[in-house]
């Protein structure tokens, strides 16, 4: 008996529904209707620095001293953070950012965020210690030329231009430390080949185990980043934004 012929069923792709990607919802990001146009014009295309993190254990294994010094400063958790982030929420974080009477605050997805000790200790895991030094105010007596020479491969080398202190003259240990400061702790996104006075202050404090008030320093860095078109510091605000996202997700789950 001949086998019954099997009709091959043609798969129809046209009948399958492809879910459409959900577009950005600015009304969910910014609760003030009057600010939507301003955000779209001034902030929608702002560049966010690419996420960076560091494995301090690798540097410890390869005999770099600064890795242990950074651990003693209490910034190792923040520097090793990695994971997903949401660029639009980071932009909203900066768009709504304000500083008044030393208090830095913002608003994301209808939730107020105050950069207080609770945020720094529970989200960024930064230590809040007494008798810490504020950068740069508590380092007014630092001589930046002497500090720079102390980090040079050849401290006797002439400096043709004392206004521009280049990283290329530093020892390897200090060059890598400067890179981590410029990309992770106080990111600026440009002029990374130059040592600014604030860089030398931070490097001197770290290498001499002088405790820095990191909460204030990072808050100042975040506030300065708002005025820089190409420098939104994702690495510093990512944990705070992620906490907001989780909170709003939980609230939505409770309401459903």
> Phi and psi (nearest 5°) for 109?
55, 40
Q: How many domains does the chain have?
A: 1
Measured CA to CA, the distance from residue 127 to residue 73 in angstroms comes to 8
Residue 244's pLDDT is what?
A: 55
Asked, for residue 158, whether it belongs to a domain, the answer is yes
Residue 184 DSSP code: I
Asked, for residue 4, whether it belongs to a domain, the answer is no
Asked, for residue 176, whether it belongs to a domain, the answer is yes
Asked, for residue 209, whether it belongs to a domain, the answer is yes
Residue 236's pLDDT is what?
A: 60
Residue 42's pLDDT is what?
A: 79
Asked, for residue 23, whether it belongs to a domain, the answer is no
Residue 234's pLDDT is what?
A: 58
Asked, for residue 186, whether it belongs to a domain, the answer is yes
Query: Which candidate, 209, 210, 235, 207, places its Cα nearest to that of 221?
Result: 235
Residue 98 DSSP code: E
Residue 111's pLDDT is what?
A: 86
Asked, for residue 51, whether it belongs to a domain, the answer is yes
Residue 13's pLDDT is what?
A: 42
Q: What are the mean pLDDT values of the chain's consecutive 10-residue runs (256 residues total)? A: 52 42 58 74 80 92 97 94 80 90 88 89 89 96 96 93 92 98 88 95 98 95 81 60 49 30
Measured CA to CA, the distance from residue 149 to residue 134 in angstroms comes to 23
Residue 188's pLDDT is what?
A: 84
């Amino acid at each position: 008996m001949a086998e019954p012929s099997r009709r091959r069923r043609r798969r129809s792709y046209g009948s399958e529904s492809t879910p459409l990607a959900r577009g950005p919802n600015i009304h969910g990001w910014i609760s003030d209707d009057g600010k939507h146009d301003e955000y779209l014009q001034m902030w929608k295309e702002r560049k966010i620095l690419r996420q960076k993190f560091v494995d301090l254990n690798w540097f410890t294994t390869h005999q770099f001293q600064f890795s242990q010094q950074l651990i003693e400063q209490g910034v190792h958790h923040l520097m090793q953070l990695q994971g997903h982030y949401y660029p639009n929420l980071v932009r909203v974080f900066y768009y709504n950012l304000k500083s008044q009477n030393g208090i830095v605050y913002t608003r994301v997805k209808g939730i107020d965020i105050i950069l207080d000790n609770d945020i720094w200790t529970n989200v960024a895991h930064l230590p809040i210690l007494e008798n810490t030094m504020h950068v740069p105010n508590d380092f007014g007596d630092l001589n930046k030329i002497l500090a720079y020479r102390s980090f040079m491969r050849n401290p006797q080398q002439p400096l043709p231009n004392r206004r521009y202190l280049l990283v290329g003259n530093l020892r390897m240990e200090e060059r890598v430390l400067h890179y981590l400061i410029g990309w992770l702790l106080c990111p600026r996104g440009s002029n990374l080949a130059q040592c600014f006075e604030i860089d030398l202050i931070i490097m001197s404090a770290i290498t001499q185990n002088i405790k820095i008030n990191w909460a204030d320093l990072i808050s100042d860095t975040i506030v300065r980043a708002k005025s820089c078109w190409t420098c939104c510091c994702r690495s510093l605000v990512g944990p705070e934004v992620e906490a907001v996202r989780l909170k709003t997700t939980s609230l939505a789950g409770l309401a459903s």
